[in-house]
């Protein structure tokens, strides 16, 4: 025998109600705690969204292999220390040092931030990188 989803008592005659947008199958005593549930007709229901197009796995740009040198030269040209650049960018100086030594590669967001603050280009066309090899 089904039970009430609110109080747990066995249900002889179930009622469907909504409470805060959630549908419950309840006993007559608990039916007063919600609004009667009226399912929308099939024509009024939302259709399932069309499947998203697959993303083409093509990299048109890539991080310049010389990014550590580019970052260091641009920072030096501006006359900034790691700490000063870190303060401007709201980033840690130790992280900037790791990028300059090539220990870490900046992700795309961080690389774009470096490009903005230093006035350099860290991303190059993938075709250009293949030609230079």
Run of H or E including 35? strand 35-36
Of 15, 12, 10, nearest to 34 by C-alpha is 15
Q: Is the pLDDT of residue 57 over 50?
A: no
Tokens of 40: 């929308």
Q: Is the pLDDT of residue 130 over 70?
A: no
Q: At residue 68, what are phi and psi to the nearest 5 degrees?
A: -60, -45
List, in sequence order, every residue forming a beta bridge with 61; answer none if it has no partner: 125
Q: At residue 130, what are phi and psi to the nearest 5 degrees?
A: -70, -35
Q: Which has the minimum average pLDDT: 53-57, 66-70, 112-116?
A: 53-57
Please provide the average confidence, as pLDDT, over all residues in the chain. Answer: 82
For β-strands 22-26 and 61-63, DSSP reports them as unpaired
Given pLDDT bands bounded at 50, 70 and 90, which one contains residue 42? low
Query: Domain limits of the chain?
Result: 1-39, 61-132
Pick the CATH number of 61-132 from 3.10.580.10, 3.40.50.300, 1.10.287.610, 1.10.260.40: 1.10.260.40
**0.95 surpassed by pTM:** no
Which carries the bigger pLDDT value, residue 73 or residue 61?
73
Q: Which has the minimum average pLDDT: 15-19, 71-75, 97-101?
A: 15-19
List, in sequence order, every residue forming a beta bridge with 10; answer none if it has no partner: 3
Compute the average pLDDT of residues 94-117. Answer: 90
């Amino acid at each position: 025998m089904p039970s009430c989803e609110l109080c747990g008592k066995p249900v002889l005659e179930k009622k469907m109600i909504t409470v805060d947008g959630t549908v419950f199958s309840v006993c007559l005593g608990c039916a007063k705690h919600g609004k009667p549930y009226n399912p929308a007709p099939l024509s009024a229901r939302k259709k399932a969204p069309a499947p998203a197009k697959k993303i083409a796995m093509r990299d048109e740009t890539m991080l310049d292999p010389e990014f550590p040198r580019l970052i260091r030269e641009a920072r030096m040209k501006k006359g900034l220390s790691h700490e000063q650049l870190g303060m401007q960018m709201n980033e840690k100086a130790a992280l900037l040092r790791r990028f300059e030594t090539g220990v870490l590669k900046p992700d795309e967001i961080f690389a774009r931030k470096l490009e903005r603050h230093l006035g350099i280009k860290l991303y190059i066309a993938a075709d250009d990188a293949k030609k230079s090899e």
